[in-house]
Structure 1
Amino acid sequence: MKKALLAAALMSAGVVAHAQSSVTLYGRLDAGIEYMSGVPTGANANGAANGKTNRWKAESGDWGTSLWGLKGVEDIGGGNKVLFQLEGSFNTMTGAGPGGGGLFNRWATVGLANDQYGTFTMGRMLFISNGVWDFDPFGQSNWSSASLVRGRNWPQSSNNFAYQSPKIAGFDFYGQYALSNATAWNGNGTTAQGREAGAQVTYTNSLFQVRGIYDEIRNPTTGGLWGGAVANNGINTANTGNGVFSASREYSALVNVFLGQFKIQAAYQAVRSAGATGVLPGQPTTLDHEWGGVTWQATPAAALIAAVYHVNGNNGAGNATIYTVGGSYNLSKRTLLDLQVATVQNSRAANFGLNANNAGYAASTDNPLQGRAQSGVYAGIQHSF
């Protein structure tokens, strides 16, 4: 009997050694207080705002999305691993979840990894356009690289297949391909998402890092590269889409330069639609978006950041520039205090806000009135676990 128990124990140990697994719970809580000027108020006969006010607001996610998730990995031998990730966002101030996006609205993936051949995953994930995060001085905070393209570069993507290569001589490749799941390949209105795809190549060394990204998001109704008519500066309230901001191709060139305590970052994005119809004056079909900034790691705990973001739209849509400064102070390895001060300056025809809102200036958005400026201050605390 003892020999049988010993044999069973040895066999079990062999299985554990061959197929070790682990699951990690992680998360981030971000909360603070926000002041914003130029917030629209009231409404005219067309439903557009006809006044402006200032606002104080308890806010969650301005410095970084509040989220929680699970990661797991199982070593199945031969250098192969099975892995998964589940991640969802929430509002720290209210406890509310992601609404219509599902419990795990950011990540819900399963896949295989091999140190030599790379990683393949399937499921819901952050869309590849989020790859600008590493090159944004403010790390895609609420007032940064997503604001002037109205959220075009931070969406999630379902039905996705992704591949991440290993790093070879400083280069690595990442690609995504997301199915529409419609009866037409690119989408025809029978599903909530059109076909989406993209690829990025990154080169990294000790002095600098460069990345190129191509991605496209198809209209789920038409399968095309135009998001439909948009609100014409809040006057056309029959808003049937978000134009170039929601369905288009995007070409991105990004660079980081590492100079001791300083990190210099710059980027250029060309956002292009195709086959646009029903375009009214002031509705852009192309965008040119660029930014630059510097981070000074003054001490191991304290960082100061300054950045400028600019966008220019065609078809009389005008241009806008965000000027922003801020920084963070680490109370510990997992907790930091953050501060950001920003202003957006619009040309006569534009109404971009600090937040990544849809077009228009109805009172239900935070966008300033056409041609007006908007300023804001945010201070908060962020804890990761």
Structure 2
Amino acid sequence: MKAKLAVAATLLGVSAGAMAQSSVTLFGALDEALVYANNAGGGATVQMLDSYHWNTMWGLEGTEDLGGGLKANFYLANYFNLSNGQNFNSGSFFYGGAWVGLSKQEYGSVTLGRHYDYSVYLLSNMPGVNATLAQTPGNLDHTGGGYLNNAITYTSPTFGGVTFSGLYAFPGGTSDPFATGRAFSLSLTYRGSSFRAAAVATKINGAYVTPTLAGMNMFLGQDVIPYVKVHVDSQNIYGIAASYDLTSKFTLQASYTDVAFAGFNQYQSVRTATASAVYSFAPDLKLTGAYQHSGLGSGDMNSYSLFLDYFLSKRTDVYTAVHYAQSGGATQSATLFTLAPSTTSHQVAVAAGIRHFF
């Protein structure tokens, strides 16, 4: 449930009748899991993992009715680690987004600020294993979220279930050591009663990526240092996804992404195909199974996930999951996203956690 904070006109010293109607909403989510891995960096580990099933965060969003159907809107989101209370990213307080804009139902909306690129639509519009350890290798395709500063976005009205979105991001500036160059992102989504689909294309010039999060020991022909970002000339992301409700209890989903990197006079592609099925035993109990294959240029990786989610209420659920990754290739390690790579070609993880929305 979101808590709404009324904007009182009397506090501003003006009459309520002379003021446009406004609202501000405080929202957030808390998510923490306990994870066992059989081999993470050479040995078995047990650890707490923040934001396993959902980003732990709080935020503010608001709107002001300007009259004639025109509205002013804003959004601010802070991601943080529940295990220690620290910000998720020390260099960005509102890491999860910060923008302001205008909207009108018949024309769409325009925003300015920090925004995710639209690759995330491939995941957010589809049911599946929404868990950190089930993320595509290294999140190189940004289906788990990728943010761009200095962005201007446009989202069209929805016609017959179809919505178009476009984003342009200006170069990041010299104050950010990991600032990207100019970027573009486009998406086309469809939402029907039982069928959903999305297609995205994103191009980021001067991007920074972390190959070891995908288990890569070599990238673009270069040896990589564990967890050190690599600057590439360009990162091009293309993806499609679709889901279909076979019944009110059973849903099938599939997606495919192709990420092309250029740098060091080399080219490398990362291609990932995912298939999943979701079955609801009851309104409060859901089981999801997923298979994922990634061709990483330096090798390949197959991963399997089972995720059981039980809702204690509309705002609180508990969950448990099992994940398995298997790698192939001399320069490719098995790794589930955010865990240290296995020293073998296999990695297994078991997780249990809780999520609460407010």
Q: TM-score, normalised by structure 1?
A: 0.80
Which among 252, 257, 261 is matched to residue 273 of structure 1?
261
Tell me if structure 1 keeps the 8 A contact 2:207–2:231.
no
Offset of 1:286 from its aligned partner? Answer: 0.8
Which among 345, 348, 351 is matched to residue 378 of structure 1?
351
- CA distance 1:278–1:324, change in 2 (3 Å): same
SS of 2:158's partner is coil
Offset of 1:352 from its aligned partner? Answer: 3.9
> What CA distance in whole angstroms lies between the structure 1 residues aligned with 2:276 and 2:59?
31
Tell me if structure 2 keeps the 8 A contact 1:228–1:278.
no
Offset of 1:236 from its aligned partner? Answer: 5.0
Which among 312, 321, 333 is matched to residue 331 of structure 1?
312
Task: Give the 5 Å matches for 1:208-219.
Answer: 208-219=195-206
- CA distance 1:101–1:294, change in 2 (3 Å): farther
Tell me if structure 2 keeps the 8 A contact 1:268–1:289.
yes
Is 1:368 matched with 2:339? no
Tell me if structure 2 keeps the 8 A contact 1:148–1:311.
no
SS of 1:129's partner is helix
Root-mean-square deviation (Å): 2.8
Residues 303-355 of structure 1 show CA distances to partners (whole Å, capped at 9, x for unaligned) of 100001110123xx110011000121110110000111101010133214111
Is 1:204 matched with 2:174? no
> What CA distance in whole angstroms lies between the structure 2 residues aligned with 1:152 and 1:208?
23
Which among 271, 286, 301 is matched to residue 320 of structure 1?
301
Offset of 1:277 from its aligned partner? Answer: 2.2
Is 1:155 matched with 2:146? yes
Tell me if structure 1 keeps the 8 A contact 2:206–2:231.
no
Residues 289-310 of structure 1 show CA distances to partners (whole Å, capped at 9, x for unaligned) of 1101011121111110000111
Q: Which residue of 2 aligns with 1:168?
A: 159
SS of 2:17's partner is helix
Tell me if structure 1 keeps the 8 A contact 2:140–2:259.
no
> What CA distance in whole angstroms lies between the structure 1 residues aligned with 2:272 and 2:128?
15
> What CA distance in whole angstroms lies between the structure 1 residues aligned with 2:152 and 2:160?
25
- The residue type equivalent to 2:193 in the other structure is S
SS of 1:285's partner is strand
SS of 1:14's partner is helix
Is 1:91 matched with 2:81? yes
Q: Which residue of 1 aligns with 2:44?
A: 54
Offset of 1:150 from its aligned partner? Answer: 4.5
Residues 346-383 of structure 1 show CA distances to partners (whole Å, capped at 9, x for unaligned) of 01332141115xxxxxxxx70112x5110101101100
SS of 2:353's partner is strand
- CA distance 1:215–1:151, change in 2 (3 Å): closer
Offset of 1:200 from its aligned partner? Answer: 0.5
Offset of 1:127 from its aligned partner? Answer: 2.2
Q: Which residue of 1 aligns with 2:336?
A: 354
Residues 185-232 of structure 1 show CA distances to partners (whole Å, capped at 9, x for unaligned) of xxxx987222121100012221211111001121159xxxx9999853
Which among 236, 244, 247 is matched to residue 257 of structure 1?
244
- CA distance 1:71–1:191, change in 2 (3 Å): same
Q: How many residues align?
A: 336
Q: Percent identity?
A: 27
Normalized per residue, which structure has more strand?
2
> What CA distance in whole angstroms lies between the structure 1 residues aligned with 2:281 and 2:181?
45
Task: Give the 5 Å matches for 1:136-155.
Answer: 137-139=128-130, 141-147=131-137, 149-150=139-140, 152-153=142-143, 154-155=145-146
- The residue type equivalent to 1:193 in the other structure is T
- CA distance 1:312–1:296, change in 2 (3 Å): same
> What CA distance in whole angstroms lies between the structure 2 residues aligned with 1:254 and 1:14?
48
Residues 231-264 of structure 1 show CA distances to partners (whole Å, capped at 9, x for unaligned) of 53896549875477x9411110110101221111
SS of 1:346's partner is strand
Q: Who wins on radius of gyration, i.e. which is larger?
A: 1
Is 1:79 matched with 2:61? no
SS of 1:137's partner is coil
- CA distance 1:58–1:190, change in 2 (3 Å): closer
Q: TM-score, normalised by structure 2?
A: 0.86
Offset of 1:152 from its aligned partner? Answer: 3.9
Q: Which residue of 2 aligns with 1:195?
A: 182
Task: Give the 5 Å matches for 1:224-239.
Answer: 231-232=217-218, 236-237=224-225
> What CA distance in whole angstroms lies between the structure 2 residues aligned with 1:273 and 1:366?
23
> What CA distance in whole angstroms lies between the structure 1 residues aligned with 2:172 and 2:265?
27
Name stretches of at least 5 consecutive residues in structure 2 with no aligned partner: 1-13
Which among 281, 294, 315 is matched to residue 311 of structure 1?
294
SS of 2:34's partner is strand
Offset of 1:100 from its aligned partner? Answer: 2.6
- CA distance 1:81–1:236, change in 2 (3 Å): closer
> What CA distance in whole angstroms lies between the structure 2 residues aligned with 1:142 and 1:23?
30
SS of 2:133's partner is coil
Q: Which residue of 2 aligns with 1:15?
A: 18
SS of 2:264's partner is coil
Offset of 1:98 from its aligned partner? Answer: 2.3
> What CA distance in whole angstroms lies between the structure 1 residues aligned with 2:351 and 2:210?
32
Offset of 1:23 from its aligned partner? Answer: 0.5
> What CA distance in whole angstroms lies between the structure 2 residues aligned with 1:257 and 1:220?
34
SS of 1:157's partner is strand
- CA distance 1:182–1:86, change in 2 (3 Å): closer
> What CA distance in whole angstroms lies between the structure 1 residues aligned with 2:139 and 2:231?
11
